[in-house]
Structure 1
Amino acid sequence: MSHQLPEPIPAESPAAHGTARALRADARRNRERVLRTAQQLFAQEGLGVSLDEIARRAGVGPGTVHRHFPSKEALYLAVSIDQLERLVAEAAALAAGGDPAAVFTLLSRMMADGAENSTVKSALTAAEFDLRTAAPEVATDLTGYVTELLDRARTAGLVRDDVTADEVMALVAGAFAAIRHADAHADPARAARIGGIILDGIRPRSR
């Protein structure tokens, strides 16, 4: 009895495309798993965690991590961009809602995320990476949503008439430094308190 080998699947066949899509989806899931694990480990244990340890904790092979992120700096940048993208998604959901105070929700979230990932942001700053340059579209989208939500809050009388989106973004950046200076980046309640004090500055002045 002859044993025929199965014919190879043509490169353009639906089956080949289905296999390629499955591989891409699997690679995407692995990458996301590595990013989430890296973010947690950097926040909990600092930047000294090795790429191999991140791979082990993420449940993937070391080659998977090194293939996506050839250096620690590349991983720092990817973690920060991923964080920005998730903030943009949250901002879009808030903008789609009708809460006039949603800008405070978004800014508080931005401060909390920044405090949690302050070590990564410090590493990027030391390496002279600027997220606004590395991911300009994402940064622009986030600023756009802050502007939209700020205008909504201003119309409702919830923020000062003279505050601008650029000033608000500067306050958020300053909040990271304030939280870190107070050594509160590992204490969510204290970090939130400091953030709240900063956000009080954009509320209308009492008469």
Structure 2
Amino acid sequence: MNEQQPQPIPFESATPRGSSRGLRADARRNRQAVLHTAQRLFARKGLGVPLDEIARQAGVGPGTVHRHFPTKESLYLAVSIDQLEHLVSDAATLTATDDPAAVFTLLSRMMANGAENGAVKSALTAAEFDVRVVAPEIAVALTGHVADLLDRARAAALVRDDITVEEVMALVAGAFTAIHHADAQSSPPRATHIANVILDGLRPRP
């Protein structure tokens, strides 16, 4: 996989202008098209994909990409934040159901997302940039939904009594590392198997 060495991300270029709030509808659509295309190409081809190629496949001009994302690193960060926002939306939908096992559905999605976007996450880690610092409200919202779903599962005796939300979030982060270590990022069945082994550890002992 052709990955370029990430450079440190200046705070001013990394902060999510991030969100599409305040943009015109057409600019918002263009930005989302770039983010979705970048995420797909990064997952398939690595981080070395040229910005001009991302622009071409997103159906926008190179200037549009550079206007929204002045550096490649700011695009990495925006992709990661966009994926977190989608997970928060999924989590809110699951929280609104009465499924006691919904926490396992959400955690599976979080692990799959981490595996698919491993190259971007590795780049941000190498650049010593923490999405939780840049977009704390998103991280807090996601953790809050996990906590609510964990409480529901615990009340239904579907998870261990001695597990905390902090430990669950640590296990999710550890799953990313385990999947990467097993070189299973490009193999959804293997990544899912590793995730299921980890999730089984949350279930009550016989």
What is the TM-score of this pair, normalised by structure 1?
0.88
User: For residue 162 of structure 1, what is the amino acid of its counterpart?
Assistant: D
The residue aligned with 2:120 is 120
The residue aligned with 2:155 is 155
- For residues 118-147 of structure 1, what are the alpha-carbon distances to aligned partners after superposition, in whole Å with 9 as ceiling and x for unaligned? 000000001111011011000000000000
Higher relative contact order (CA 8 A, sep 6+): 2
2: CA distance, partners of 1:97 / 1:91: 10
1:162 is paired with a residue whose SS is coil
2:49 is the alignment partner of 1:33: no
2: CA distance, partners of 1:128 / 1:57: 30
2: CA distance, partners of 1:90 / 1:57: 27
Correspondences of 1:20-169 after superposition (within 5 Å): 24-169=24-169
2: CA distance, partners of 1:176 / 1:38: 20
1: CA distance, partners of 2:70 / 2:127: 16
What is the TM-score of this pair, normalised by structure 2?
0.89
2: CA distance, partners of 1:67 / 1:108: 35
1: CA distance, partners of 2:51 / 2:137: 28
Bigger radius of gyration: 1
User: Sequence identity, in percent?
Assistant: 74
- For residues 143-174 of structure 1, what are the alpha-carbon distances to aligned partners after superposition, in whole Å with 9 as ceiling and x for unaligned? 00000000000000000001000000000000
Runs of 4+ in 1 over 2 A off after TM superposition: none
How many correspondences in the alignment?
A: 184
User: For residue 184 of structure 2, what is the amino acid of its counterpart?
Assistant: A
Extract unaligned runs of 5+ from structure 1. 1-22
